[in-house]
A and B are shown apart, each in its own frame.
Chain A
Amino acid sequence: MNRSLRPLVATTLIFLFAFLLAVLQHPAMMSTRVLGNFLTDNAFLGIAAVGMTFVILSGGIDLSVGAVIGFTTVLIAVLIMWLDLHPLLAFAIALGVAGSFGAVMGAAIHYLKVPSFIVTLAGMFLARGGASVLSSDSIGIQHEFYSTVSKSYILLPGGGRLTVIGIIMLVVFAGAILLAHRTRFGSNVYALGGSETSAALMGVPVARTTIMIYALSSALAGLAGVVFSLYTSAGYSLNALGVELDAIAAVVIGGTLLTGGYGFIAGTFIGVMLQGLVQTYIVFDGTLSSWWTKIVVGVLLFMFILLQRLVFRAGSRRT
């Protein structure tokens, strides 16, 4: 376990160090107000990244999450605004659709024996295309429920607001940590990432686990879509463009090995927070342009890939 902890420790240290630097420069960043916004603004990314963590731990990749988020926002908007459904019912339907979509992708990956990135690529095209077939224009959502939710929050000491969607993200992370480290499903996910052949011989239900992993990832992307919908009060087929890349970056920066088998959900949380920190810093700074986020995230991604390379190469030589 020691070895796989190292990238996680590195992430945590980098985050603390970066946060310290940011606070030294802009003391205002050290407030529950900023923290609250931090959680709210990154909620959809965090939730999607949780699903991505499971996929990457199992040795796969899911390129469809951004598209599924976009599709879900459109579907919810259509269900609420055109079909007059209650948002909660719309959410349930959306989660069901997203989950089944993921299950189908998982089944394709397992039964057709093709690399996950190709299947989820098809999934990405299908979800984006499907969303724009539903509606190629942005649909605004006006509903009492939405305004109620956006007005509900827990007041933190210091004036910060822990919003509903911030809470949803925290609950998802907590649940995912239990799921990954304390359940049979979690063990099976790690087992698949370690060696699929061995896992199969040891009694891991490979087909079922693979299908569940991608169903979980898409369902969480669907939940991220719900959160995105609550966050923006609109459905648009091009929402969350490229979020899959941010999610992958968060997972890797969080210390999960991209080839699978090693990693932690908690690391992903720090990975998301680190990305959020970079964005918040850029906003606070005011002189830096938004594209620096991408560059910094790219650099962090590179650093962590390199770090994993060193840690796991050194470790694979048994003495």
Chain B
Amino acid sequence: MIETGQKPVLEARGIVKVFGQHRALDAVDFTALPGEVHALLGENGAGKSTLIKILTGAYQPDGGDLLLEGQPITLRDPLHGQTYGIGTVYQEVNLLPNRSVAENLFLGRQPTRFGLVKRREIEGQARALLARYGLDLDVRAELSEFSVAVQQIVAIARAVELSGKVLVLDEPTASLDRNEVERLFDVVRGLKAKGLAIIFITHFLDQVFALADRVTILRNGRKVATQPLSAVNTTDVVRMMLGKDLAFEHHPTSLSGGPQGAVRVEFKGLGRKGMTPFDLAVHEGEVVGVAGLLGSGRTEVARLMFGVDAAEGGTITVDGQPVTIRNPAQAVAAGFGFCPEDRKLDGIFGDLSVRENIIIALQAKLGWFKALNRDDQIELSGRYAEALDIRAADHDMPVKLLSGGNQQKVILARWLAIDPTFLILDEPTRGIDVGAHAEIVRTINRLREEGLALFVISSELDEVVAYSNRIVVMRDREMVAELHGDDIAPDVIVQSIAGTRAEVRP
């Protein structure tokens, strides 16, 4: 527990960072105490990644001081930060997948004799080190042979070994499932007990409450508050992050009445190796929400539907007509649209203009020879930018310059431009600041009202509840339940995912 008056390990005083005209950080104070987990929260653009980069040495502040155990320090780069005892573990494991676990732990500081690395000694030390984290594995095996969770723990072991005073965890849980998160948290709690100061950045509020002792909230480059978590609840935190009360409408009763229109798309016995075949019909003006843990097969279902992975069996009908979908191009031809989870990797064309990003799917559907001329393109992109309120200074600017939320809307606009029959959204609010969440949720509701059939995957239960007519629950690569009416509530979904509720097969 934190005693008041405890001396901070790392302290930032009045940190200022300016990019061009933009004050990314404005007189921010931050302290990390020994033996605490300190969560750092804020919307995208609030300045938390800038602050982290200053604390670890990746950026140099334009004003203010960094103090380590009371002594002012200046960090040149993260390596320099490491020598002061400040270690960082990033979201994507920043280790070497092609090298052995032992080498990943000791790279850059291998003991040598006559210039030759003492391999045996390294392996022995690596084994001993990992044993302290409860890992017993072949340290000579390539790192890539292990799960992301194990890789994260190896990364933490390396960071702690090298630095040992402050550990910065930058969204370490983003690609872990629930069990793996628990395992990681156990490791973090162990380190906390040893007196490390741990700075924890995440999008998941429940994880903050599960792990952290104190929370610092940033908004628009300023510190809003630093509070012990025992003194605040979720609503307080969200309110501080947004500066306003964020309330999704509760499950609208109008949605409980079941399907609104005719069957738009029907999947029968669609399956693939490692996926239990499923049946699903989506109606006009209906949103089917999908709930399930990471790895439950929710993204795989979307990929099958859209032909990203070819199905090994089953049929698909659109408006009663059978269609063949073995690749995304066929899916688009059938009037499907898909906003993928990883926007940057699978969604946007960063260097192409906003306009081109909006018309590209329509153009791909029209084929090579029916080119949309410039006027058509301007008209189309203008229309959808307006409808979705895409904020871009100029539609000829590269889309990579837009914010995450606006990029997501560009991809949505891309699909609306083909006048789709069926839209698949995989985690439409991931990586988007909380303020824009509500906007995306409103957009989904509007599209439903306009008669579109939607299939929406989300791990934000509040959001799924806010727009779904029906919720399909997935577990172990199988659709295990379908929730209707009053059952569409976060607690019911959680029980259903956990398997503690009597199941109703779809």
Contacts and interface: CB of A to CB of B under 8 A. Distances in A.
Does a CB–CB distance below 8 Å link A and B in the complex? yes
B202 to A, nearest CB: 20
B112 A183 contact: yes
B97 A194 contact: yes
B307 interface: no
Interface in A180-201: 182-184, 187-188, 190-191, 193-195, 197-199, 201
Contacts of B88: 201
B99 interface: yes
A112 interface: no
B106 to A, nearest CB: 9
A124 B331 CA distance: 48
A310 interface: no
A196 to B, nearest CB: 10
A199 to B, nearest CB: 7
A203 B110 contact: no
B119 interface: yes
Contacts of A191: 96, 99, 107
B108 interface: yes
Contacts of A198: 94-96
Contacts of B147: 318
B492 interface: no
B219 to A, nearest CB: 29
Contacts of A316: 144
Given A1-B141, A201-B94, A202-B108, A187 B117 contact: yes
A261 interface: yes
A214 interface: no
Nearest to B83: A203
Given A182-B116, A182-B119, A203 B109 contact: yes
Given A3-B142, A201-B78, A202-B107, A193 B116 contact: no
Given A202-B108, A204-B108, A183 B96 contact: no
Interface residues of A, number: 27
A240 to B, nearest CB: 31
Nearest to B138: A1
Contacts of B78: 201
A264 interface: no
Nearest to B162: A203
B294 interface: no
B464 to A, nearest CB: 28
A308 B119 CA distance: 27
Contact of A187 (B90, B95, B103): B103
B100 interface: yes
Nearest to A198: B94
Interface in A280-319: 315-316, 318
B100 A1 contact: yes
Given A183-B117, A184-B117, A202-B107, A1 B142 contact: yes
Nearest to A316: B144
Interface in A1-48: 1-4
A204 B107 contact: yes
Select the residue from B90, B94, B112 with max chain A CB neighbours within 10 A.
B94
A194 B82 contact: no
Given A183-B112, A203-B107, A1 B96 contact: no
A203 B57 CA distance: 14
Interface in B61-120: 78-79, 82, 88, 90, 94-100, 103-104, 107-110, 112, 115-117, 119
B140 interface: yes
Select the residue from B82, B98, B144 with max chain A CB neighbours within 10 A.
B98
B98 A193 contact: yes
A1 B100 CA distance: 8
B411 to A, nearest CB: 26
Given A187-B103, A203-B109, A261 B94 contact: no
A262 B98 contact: yes
A183 B115 contact: yes
- In the complex, the 6 A-B pairs of residues with the closest C-beta atoms, listed nearest first: A203-B108, A194-B96, A261-B98, A194-B98, A198-B94, A182-B116
Interface of B: 78-79, 82, 88, 90, 94-100, 103-104, 107-110, 112, 115-117, 119, 140-142, 144-145, 147, 158
27 contacts: A1-B140, A1-B142, A2-B141, A3-B142, A178-B116, A182-B116, A183-B115, A183-B117, A184-B110, A187-B99, A187-B103, A187-B107, A191-B99, A191-B107, A193-B98, A194-B98, A195-B96, A198-B95, A199-B96, A202-B95, A202-B107, A202-B108, A202-B158, A203-B82, A203-B107, A204-B107, A261-B98
Given A197-B94, A201-B94, 14 more contacts: A178-B116, A183-B117, A184-B108, A184-B117, A187-B99, A194-B98, A194-B99, A199-B107, A201-B90, A202-B158, A261-B98, A315-B144, A318-B145, A318-B147
